[in-house]
């Protein structure tokens, strides 16, 4: 699931003059996608690397990938627009990059706030298994996280779990409850490109086994009022997700891409002592969403 960038491709990318991206509403414009693809496919071994990325994300047994962009991050700097354009170009080989949040740029910062709810993405505690925008009728097909800075104290490993494998281990009566429209979580406002609010929603969307979204967030168990039977079914799923989890640390420049139709993600707690770390040195990720059927419009 870890994809190294060939040295000859790295060397070519360092000097690649990718232009600034343009957006069509919340989506990366088709003209930008075309230009990036033209420039990138002319570099040595890009096409085979992009094919390996797609295969890892959507092939049998796959569902997430980590592109090792650390050498490029070190050479260019993660605050250099050239580095983000390269990462965006790789993302566009998977699906259409977009931002569902009109108040945020294409890439959204996820920093660390010690006074935030610890269970939130920017908190310092355990961020339980979830899919992003779980209550949208058209959630992003892929969620991605680019590691600008890992936790300098050594905490916060990423956790991932195969949602369909977890569901398959549950008894039939539990799966039946998860397939009912009895779940809800969060708010829904001022969002682009993800459809309408889905409330209530089923955790299992009725697709064939092993396909479709598993609309789950463990936060619903604490922050939503669910009837006992449905809550218990969701707890059983949460337990199976933990049972099947994989865990690893994202390094500087690592680019994690998660297929939300297959895997759920989260994060273990950051190391204690975050209050003593200057804000500018704390863990920092950049988030970008991808939609497989997004961005049908055009832009100049």
Give the containing element (helix H, strand E) for 236. helix 228-243
Residue 234 lies in a domain: yes
State which residues form the domain around 260. 2-291
For the beta carbon of residue 214, count every other beta carbon within 10 angstroms: 26
- Which among 286, 247, 241 has a CA at the least distance from the CA of 263? 241
Q: How much is the average pLDDT of 208-228?
A: 90
190: left (phi over 0), alpha (psi -120 to 50) or beta: left
Query: Tell me: the pLDDT tens digits for 184-204?
Result: 998 898 899 999 999 999 999
Give the DSSP letter of residue 117.
Answer: -
CATH code of the domain containing 244: 3.60.130.10
- Which among 15, 244, 290 has a CA at the least distance from the CA of 138? 290
Mean pLDDT for the chain overall: 94
Residue 74 lies in a domain: yes
Residue 274 predicted with pLDDT over 90: yes
Give the DSSP letter of residue 140.
Answer: -
**Neighbouring residues of 174: CB distance < 8 A, sequence distance ≥ 6:** 233, 236, 237
What's the number of domains the chain is made of? 1
Report the pLDDT value the prediction gives residue 294, as an integer from 0 to 100: 63
Residue 63 lies in a domain: yes
Residue 297 lies in a domain: no
Phi, psi at 64, each rounded to 5°: -150, 155
Query: Tell me: the pLDDT tens digits for 76-133?
Result: 999 889 999 999 999 999 999 999 998 889 999 999 999 999 999 999 999 999 999 9
Residue 300 predicted with pLDDT over 50: no
Query: Tell me: the pLDDT tens digits for 227-267?
Result: 999 999 999 999 999 999 999 999 999 999 999 999 999 99
Residue 242 lies in a domain: yes
State the Cα–Cα distance between residues 20 and 57, nearest whole angstrom: 27
Report the pLDDT value the prediction gives residue 297, as an integer from 0 to 100: 41
Residue 140 lies in a domain: yes
Query: Tell me: the pLDDT tens digits for 89-100?
Result: 999 999 999 999
Residue 139 lies in a domain: yes
Residue 296 lies in a domain: no
Give the DSSP letter of residue 268.
Answer: P
State the Cα–Cα distance between residues 164 and 209, nearest whole angstrom: 7
């Amino acid at each position: 699931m870890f994809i190294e960038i060939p040295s000859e491709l790295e060397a070519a990318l360092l000097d690649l003059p990718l232009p600034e991206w343009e957006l069509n509403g919340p989506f990366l414009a088709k003209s930008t996608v075309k230009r990036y693809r033209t420039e990138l496919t002319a570099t040595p071994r890009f096409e085979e690397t992009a094919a390996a990325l797609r295969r890892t994300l959507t092939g049998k047994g796959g569902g997430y990938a980590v592109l090792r962009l650390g050498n490029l991050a070190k050479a260019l700097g993660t605050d250099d627009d050239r580095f983000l354009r390269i990462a965006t170009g790789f993302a566009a080989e998977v699906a259409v990059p977009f931002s569902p949040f009109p108040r945020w740029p294409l890439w959204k910062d996820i920093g660390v706030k010690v006074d935030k709810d610890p269970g939130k993405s920017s908190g310092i505690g355990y961020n339980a298994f979830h899919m992003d925008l779980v209550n949208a009728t058209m959630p992003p097909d892929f969620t991605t996280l680019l590691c600008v800075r890992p936790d300098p104290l050594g905490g916060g490993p990423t956790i991932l779990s195969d949602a369909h494998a977890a569901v398959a281990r549950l008894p039939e009566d539990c799966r039946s409850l998860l397939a009912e429209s009895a779940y809800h979580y969060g708010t829904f406002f001022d969002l682009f490109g993800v459809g309408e609010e889905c409330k209530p929603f089923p955790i299992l969307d009725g697709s064939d086994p092993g396909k479709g979204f598993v609309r789950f967030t463990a936060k619903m168990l604490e922050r939503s009022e669910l009837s006992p039977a449905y809550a218990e079914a969701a707890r059983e799923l949460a337990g199976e997700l933990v049972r099947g989890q994989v865990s690893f640390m994202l390094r500087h420049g690592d680019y994690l891409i998660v297929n939300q139709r297959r895997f759920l993600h989260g994060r273990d707690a950051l190391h204690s002592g975050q209050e003593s770390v200057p804000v500018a040195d704390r863990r920092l990720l950049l988030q970008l969403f991808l939609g497989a059927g997004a961005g049908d419009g055009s832009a100049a």
